[in-house]
Structure 1
Amino acid sequence: MKTILISLLVSFFSQFLIAQNSVEVTITGFNSNKGAALIGLYDSETNWLKQIYKGHKSEIINNRATATFEDLPDGEYAISAFHDEDNDGEFDMILGFYPSEDYASSNNAPAKFGPPKWQDAKFILKNKSKEIQNITIY
């Protein structure tokens, strides 16, 4: 009985020790409402543009898409999104290096001569913070 009580107390109080951060993303500037916006949240520089931590597919309404990511632990994060006009779930490229679909990153990080850099796109979540990202797709 004592073990069960201790386990319940540890479980209960651990919920208060884990920071529950969130990110609200609004992407504007879509050329059309065709297809969907695919939005990826990344949790490290190592995974940036390689391995999504959490993803969201959003309908585009009035050339605008939104997403919310919740229950995120403290840490560094970045967002990458693209307009999946043909709804194939893939970021289409011309000749394997030039994007044929519009894209965007958190902080409106520039993509000059290659993909946006982690250092330009990252933001920090800590202590139950709520990050609001207003991004323009291009």
Structure 2
Amino acid sequence: MTFKKLLSLSATSLLLTAIGSLSIITVFSQHAVAADLTVNISDVEEGKGHLLVALYVDQASYASGKASYSSKVKADKEQAFVVFENLPNGEYAIKMYQDENDNSKLDFNLLGIPKEGYGFSNNGGRFGAPKYTDAKFTIKESTAIEIELH
């Protein structure tokens, strides 16, 4: 076998190995980011403003109020839903409210009680925001959760 043929076979073998490796990496990476989260929201004040949904990826972001993902949908029905697509597997928590007057903030009365609907994952927080450990949930595959506005 000549040196030229041997070099050609080595290059072809190397190319096929590289393509095979890339294929394996692609298959495994698709499994890491493949989950969708559907948030079903009930007790919406129909026809009043928007629903603002904030999704947090850890305790630090939840405590700081700096959402990793967010969504805003029109509050045109008594029930609504929001979908977050292609989320990595892991723990998450949600804070949300209905901005009935579209002023981009949750309004409170003089006693500090919210005047607009609000909610958290796992439906906690009737008397204040729940701790992250009480609001967190796990996504391992496409998931749907329910949140009732207070």
Q: Please say whether Structure 1 and Structure 2 have the same fold, judged by a TM-score greater than 0.5.
A: yes
Match of 2:56 among 34, 42, 48: 42
| Deviates most, 89-98 or 37-46 | 89-98
Give distance in 2, aligned partners of 1:51 and 1:111.
22
Q: How many residues align?
A: 135
Q: Normalising by the residue count of structure 2, what TM-score does the alignment of the two structures yield?
A: 0.76
Give distance in 1, aligned partners of 2:90 and 2:106.
27
Say yes or no: does 1:53 pair with 2:65: no
Give distance in 2, aligned partners of 1:118 and 1:80.
10
Q: Normalising by the residue count of structure 1, what TM-score does the alignment of the two structures yield?
A: 0.81
Instruction: For 1:71-82, list aligned pairs within 5 A.
Output: 71-82=86-97
Say yes or no: does 1:67 pair with 2:87: no
Higher helix content, 1 or 2: 2
- Relative contact order, higher structure (CA 8 A, sep 6+): 1
Give distance in 2, aligned partners of 1:86 and 1:120.
29
Identity among equivalent positions (%) equals 30
The match for 1:92 is 107
Query: 1:7/1:95 Cα in 2 relative to 1: closer, same or farther (>3 Å)?
Result: farther
Higher strand content, 1 or 2: 1
The match for 1:106 is 121
Structure 2: unaligned runs, 5 residues or longer: 1-10
Structure 1: unaligned runs, 5 residues or longer: none
Query: Aligned-residue CA RMSD in angstroms?
Result: 2.5
The match for 1:134 is 146
